[in-house]
């Protein structure tokens, strides 16, 4: 039973999903619907009050008229019956019948179905005399008879089928004082006219209320449309502007607030267009300058490199000071050449000329090769590189040159900042993604620095000399390489706890990543650490435990 209920609930949610989606997305629909609901409640309440009050007024007027007529009928009956002073006069039955007929004939309501009835309870042989030969038992109830017998003037509204027609009657009953005994006079007036009038009032109020509600809905729809339409136009124009169509503008009509909004929006769009064009021009000039300078410096650098190599090869024949200068010249030329190479690579990314030469490659040999090439640097600074690699090949469709460059930057930085402690390199894969983490136990990163390490020429310690470390472009290039693969390059760190970088790429080129097979936060810091990541591409919330990744095509 519970399962069927859940299935029914899910089915109902699926059926109602389009309506919920339309309700959330359409301001026009919400305003019109709320206006209709509120106006329906208000008009319904007023309509019920007016109809109820009108019916009550009609009923009160009918009661007053019938009560006045009743008093006259009681007085006439008293005058007719006072002549009978004996216990029983043989002419009494005829007198009662004549009195009833006179009361009925003198009543203008008789043509509408009014009924007059006299009862003499002291004379059982006299049956109740009724002006119209109908059964009034359902109209004159025992409770009313009892109240009239006690000397009270009673009234009630009863509905009964008289003459084959179901009719509502206003019934009045009053005792008639006589010298020979207790006589009761009942006057029954149909409320057909009042019912018809009340029904007409209700119908009029209902039709008027419905028309008013519909009119309010139409007015609300038109007014809301007047306001929502410019907002929708502004939203569509803003979407086109965000898509790069900077010449899009809103149409300005009139001089009202909406026209002021459109004019202000157009002014803002024009200012943004000018700023964006100016920034794009500056960026283009900067990229061109970087590319031109890098290329132009290649020729003199080659000449200086040849001279420096010659001096470096002959340094043994020089004085110690000159030999040291030759070594420094060689080292700085290496740095300068590396900087030019990085600048050229950055200029390719900025210009959009970088291309991915993807092929199915085993990543295990790439990681081993990077560790082997940086082993000498690790020995000089007292850092060992620990590899945690799977025993089986890890095949992915990647550009091996770019992946090796990313890993070389990550491992090289970890070795330089390792503070003499081991650097751990871990490789893992699943059906959809491959991840490599590089963990060091050095000074780590302060809060917020994990969002800055990928900026160009950024250093965690600005006071450090430029002679130490790389060019400052390695991680920026690594981010671009990861993004080119459709992957992520993320960073985590804490002061004194070291840092960890994670590279994640899809197994098949072009797939979209949704998770990584390795956690970003190290397991030894997962309990009290706060996750922080810089993504080379939009990534979902990271899982500390490192659940298997999934990829959507």
Domain boundaries, the chain: 19-243, 249-354, 359-552
452 CB burial (10 A radius; 0-12, 13-18, 19+): middle
Instruction: For residue 249, give the nearest of 227, 226, 272 by alpha carbon.
Output: 272
- As a three-state string, the secondary structure of 312-355 is HHCHHHCCHHHHHHHHHHHHHHHHHHHHHHHHHHHHHHHHCCCC
In the chain, pLDDT over 90 holds for what percent of residues? 14
Give per-residue pLDDT as tens, 227-269. 788 888 888 888 888 787 878 888 887 777 778 888 888 888 8
Contact (CB, 8 A) for 389 and 364: yes
Backbone φ, ψ for residue 296 (5° rounding): -65, -30
| CATH architecture, domain defined by 19-243 | 2-Layer Sandwich (3.30)
**Using H for helix, E for strand and C for coil, what is the string for 367-429?**
HHHHHHHCHHHHHHHCCCEEEECCCCCCEEEECHHHHHHHHHHHHHHHHHCCCCCCEEEEEEE
Q: What local confidence, expressed as pLDDT, does residue 109 receive?
A: 46
Cα angle: 365, vertex 369, 375; to 5 degrees: 145
pLDDT digits (tens, 9 = 90+) for 260-281: 888 888 888 888 888 888 887 8
Strands 129-130 and 488-494: unpaired
Tens of pLDDT, residues 58-99? 888 888 888 888 888 888 777 777 765 444 455 566 777 777
* Residue range 406-432: mean pLDDT, rounded: 90
Distance CA 61, CA 411 (A): 101
Cβ burial of 337 (10 Å; 0-12, 13-18, 19+) is middle
Query: Torsion-angle region of residue 84: left (phi > 0), alpha (psi -120 to 50) or beta?
Result: beta
Is residue 397 within 8 A of residue 507, CB to CB? The reply is yes
Closest CA to 384 of 372, 395, 393: 372
356, 413, 448 from 401: Cα distances, Å: 10, 18, 31
Indicate the pLDDT class of residue 424, thresholds 50, 70 and 90: very high
* Top-confidence residue, 415 or 529: 415
Residue range 455-505, pLDDT digits in tens: 877 766 554 444 445 567 788 888 888 988 899 999 998 888 889 999 999
Put residue 521 in one of left, alpha, beta given phi > 0 → left and psi -120 to 50 → alpha. beta
Domain 249-354 carries which CATH code? Answer: 1.10.287.130
**How does pLDDT run across 113-134, given as a tens digit for each residue?**
677 777 776 666 566 667 767 7
pLDDT of residue 526: 60
Compute the distance between CA of residue 460 and CA of residue 450 in angstroms, rounded to an integer.
10
> What's the whole-number average pLDDT of the chain?
79
Report the pLDDT value the prediction gives residue 110, as an integer from 0 to 100.
43
- And the tokens for 169? 């009657």
Report the candidate in 498, 488, 482, 489 with the shortest Cα–Cα distance to residue 421.
498
301 vs 35 pLDDT, higher one: 35
What DSSP designation does 521 have?
Answer: S
pLDDT of residue 514: 86
Q: According to the model, what pLDDT value does residue 533 have?
A: 43
Q: Which residue has the tokens 């871990």?
A: 426
pLDDT at 294: 66
Distance from the Cα of residue 254 to its chain's centroid: 34
* pLDDT attached to residue 507: 92
Report the sign of the C-alpha dihedral through residues 322, 326, 328, 333, in that order.
positive
Which CB contacts under 8 angstroms, 24+ apart, belong to 28-31?
28/221, 28/224, 28/225, 28/228, 31/220, 31/224, 31/228
Reference 404, options 321, 265, 503, 334; nearest CA is 503
Instruction: Note the CATH architecture for domain 359-552.
Output: 2-Layer Sandwich (3.30)
State residue 552 phi and psi, 5-degree precision: -105, 135
Cβ neighbours around 373 below 10 Å, total: 13
- What's the DSSP call for residue 203? H
């Amino acid at each position: 039973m519970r399962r069927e209920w859940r299935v029914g609930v899910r089915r109902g949610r699926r059926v109602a999903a389009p309506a919920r989606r339309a309700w959330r997305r359409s301001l026009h629909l919400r305003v019109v619907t709320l206006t209709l609901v509120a106006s329906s409640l208000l008009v319904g309440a007023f309509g019920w009050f007016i109809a109820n009050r009108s019916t009550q007024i009609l009923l009160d007027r009918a009661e007053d008229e019938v009560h006045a007529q009743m008093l006259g009928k009681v007085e006439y009956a008293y005058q007719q019956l006072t002549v009978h002073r004996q216990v029983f006069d043989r002419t009494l039955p005829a007198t009662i019948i004549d009195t009833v007929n006179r009361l009925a004939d003198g009543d203008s309501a008789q043509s509408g179905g009014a009924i007059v009835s006299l009862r003499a309870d002291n004379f059982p042989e006299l049956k109740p005399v009724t002006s119209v030969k109908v059964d009034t038992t359902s109209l004159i109830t025992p409770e009313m008879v009892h109240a009239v017998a006690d000397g009270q003037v009673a009234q009630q509204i009863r509905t009964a089928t008289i003459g084959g027609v179901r009719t509502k009657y206003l019934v009045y009953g009053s005792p008639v004082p006589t010298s020979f005994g207790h006589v009761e006079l009942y006057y029954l007036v149909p409320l057909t006219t009042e019912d018809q009038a009340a029904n007409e009032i209700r119908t009029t109020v209902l039709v008027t209320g419905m028309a008013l509600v519909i009119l309010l809905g139409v007015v609300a729809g038109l007014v809301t449309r007047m306001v929502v339409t410019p907002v929708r136009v502004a939203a569509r124009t803003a979407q086109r502007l965000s898509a790069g169509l900077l010449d899009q503008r809103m149409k300005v009509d009139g001089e009202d607030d909406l026209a002021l909004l459109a004019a202000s929006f157009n002014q803002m769009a024009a200012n943004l267009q000018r700023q964006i064009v100016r920034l794009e021009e500056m960026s283009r000039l900067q990229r061109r300058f970087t590319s031109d300078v890098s290329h132009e410096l290649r020729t003199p650098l080659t000449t200086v490199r040849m001279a420096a190599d010659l001096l470096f090869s002959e340094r043994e024949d020089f004085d110690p000071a000159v030999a040291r200068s030759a070594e420094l010249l060689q080292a700085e030329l290496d740095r300068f050449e590396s900087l030019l190479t990085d600048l050229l690579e950055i200029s390719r990314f900025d210009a959009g000329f970088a291309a991915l030469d993807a092929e199915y490659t085993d990543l295990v040999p790439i990681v081993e090769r990077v560790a082997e090439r940086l082993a000498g640097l690790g020995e000089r600074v007292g850092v060992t590189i620990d590899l945690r690699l799977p025993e089986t090949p890890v095949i992915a469709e990647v550009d091996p040159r770019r992946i090796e460059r990313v890993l070389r930057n990550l491992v090289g930085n970890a070795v330089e900042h390792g503070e003499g402690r081991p650097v751990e390199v871990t490789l893992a894969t699943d059906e959809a993604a491959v991840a490599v983490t590089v963990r060091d136990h050095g000074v780590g990163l302060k809060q917020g620095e994990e969002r800055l390490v990928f900026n160009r020429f950024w250093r965690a310690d600005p006071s450090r000399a430029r002679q130490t470390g790389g060019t400052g472009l390695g991680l920026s290039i690594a981010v671009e390489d990861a993004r080119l693969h459709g992957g992520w390059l993320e960073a985590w760190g804490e002061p004194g706890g070291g840092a960890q970088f994670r590279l994640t790429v899809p197994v098949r080129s072009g797939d979209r990543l949704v998770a990584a097979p390795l956690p970003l936060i190290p397991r030894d810091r997962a309990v009290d650490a706060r996750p922080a990541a810089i993504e080379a591409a939009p990534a979902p919330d990271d899982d500390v435990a490192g659940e298997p990744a999934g990829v959507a095509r």
